[in-house]
Amino acid sequence: MSNKKSIRLTTGQAIVKYLSVQHSERDGKTQRLIRGVYGIFGHGNAAGLGQALYEYGQDLPYYHTWNEQAMVHTASGFAKAKLRLATLACTSSIGPGATNMITGAAVATINRLPVLLFPSDYYATRYQGPVLQQLEHPISADVSVNDCFRPVSRFFDRISRPEQLLTALPEAMRVLTDPAETGAVTVALPQDIQSHAYNFPAYFFEERVWRVERRQPDTQRIREAVQLLKRAERPVIIAGGGVHYSDAWSEL
């Protein structure tokens, strides 16, 4: 700690400390939002986020997996079982390890299931030149295969400086806990930036509770639905996942 108001941490360390103190709340019940991290470490994330989990992950358990796509599907299933009030983060290496998560991201987004993805990315400083498995675009140096996550994510960002976490992580948490917007949240992490340090404000790592709101339905829509049911000769109600996620079985 450099002083009472700031803490010097690497990008990876800051992510781990931040995720450890995030909570969700609905109907007065509070719980941990990010329950742990699934990960396969290799080219791109071992010396960054991997080291940070070892140093600061006492309250953020790490679970080893064997397939990147499977870990995203498992995180989605966990989020569904927790009624979207808690989920797991997933980290992968660069290139094929990252792209293995794309199908899982698409499934999560289509089904409005919150999952948090940290695919490793190319060197942001670039002086290293192309590196094995980065799969960079041949004529666009600022594009990598991680850009494939954009159309299948509800939120996407690439962290090219440590201080960008100050806005990226809160926005990621907001989307994860928004009943309408939730889905795959992807924060691409260049492998060099994961180890770059910054004096983060201490308040950034204070416990935070994200309220999962119960938004009121439009009264006109309710009247229209009632009229349709009354006029129907053989009415059928097809109840979607919202009934499940909002504990509305008895009301239905």
CATH code, domain carrying 108: 3.40.50.970
pLDDT of 128 above 90:
no
Q: Is 249 exposed, middle or buried (0-12, 13-18, 19+ CB in 10 A)?
A: exposed
| 99 occurs within a structural domain | yes
Q: What is the pTM of this model?
A: 0.92
Residues 179 and 213: beta-carbon distance below 8 Å? yes
pLDDT of 131 above 80:
no
| 248 occurs within a structural domain | no
> What's the structural domain count of the chain?
1
d(CA 151, CA 103): 11
Mean pLDDT of the chain: 93
| 206 occurs within a structural domain | yes
| 245 occurs within a structural domain | no
Closest C-alpha among 102, 182, 195 to residue 150: 102
Residues 100 and 92: beta-carbon distance below 8 Å? yes
Supply the range of the domain harboring residue 96.
6-211
136-140, 202-206, 242-246: range with lowest mean pLDDT: 136-140
| 235 occurs within a structural domain | no
Q: pLDDT of 146-174, one tens digit each?
A: 999 999 999 999 999 999 999 999 999 99
| 249 occurs within a structural domain | no
Q: Using 50, 70 and 90 to split pLDDT, how confident is the model at 141? A: confident
Closest C-alpha among 47, 39, 46 to residue 67: 39
For the chain, helix, strand, coil in percent to 5 are 40, 25, 40
d(CA 98, CA 96): 5
**Tell me, what's the pLDDT at 242?**
87
| 236 occurs within a structural domain | no
pLDDT of 43 above 90:
no
**Tell me, what's the pLDDT at 234?**
92
| 241 occurs within a structural domain | no
**Tell me, what's the pLDDT at 44?**
87
